[in-house]
Amino acid sequence: MISHTKRDRARELRVNATPFEQTFWQTVRGHRFAGFKFRRQQVIGPFIVDFVCLSAKLVVELDGSQHAEAVAYDQQRDAWLNGEGYWIFRVWNHEWTQQQDAVLERLWEMLNTAAPSPQPLPPDGGGAKTAATTPLSLQGRGAGGEGAAANAAE
């Protein structure tokens, strides 16, 4: 059963969504993204996740700068969610703003892959440099794994 406190906090987060969360929600709500249903600010166990596709057990977290200082908490949270069968796709707010196509391509791949290996895009935004010509990989840290070699060759 979901505690009243968590439920109320999730409602508050929906009402006070960040601009990044608002634009992401407009993209994925109402089965708009490849027919998948997403929920926002959903309580899962002791946590509230930004977005979740329950049918794929995929959590999408749009992270702001506060997450750079909350690494240990995020790792603990991710481990718990992984233990419950969820996989996590973390996207920095600036990535969403500057690389929406790359983020959505990665999201589509994760939703349509039987055995995904989800990793966030690299913090330096390496995914956008190769997204127009090369699909993002589910291996490594997005296009940063293979993109680093591609970018070095440029």
pLDDT tens for the chain, 154 residues long, are 678 898 999 989 989 899 999 999 999 999 999 999 999 999 999 999 999 999 999 999 998 866 667 788 889 999 999 999 999 999 999 999 999 999 999 999 999 885 444 455 555 544 433 333 233 333 333 333 333 333 333 3
Q: Is 4-121 assigned to CATH 3.40.960.10? A: yes
Instruction: Find the DSSP H helices in 29-121.
Output: 71-83, 93-98, 100-111
pTM beyond cutoff 0.85 = no
Task: Give the CA distances from residue 91 to residues 8, 23, 84, 88, in Å, rounded to whole numbers and listed in that order.
Answer: 25, 13, 21, 10
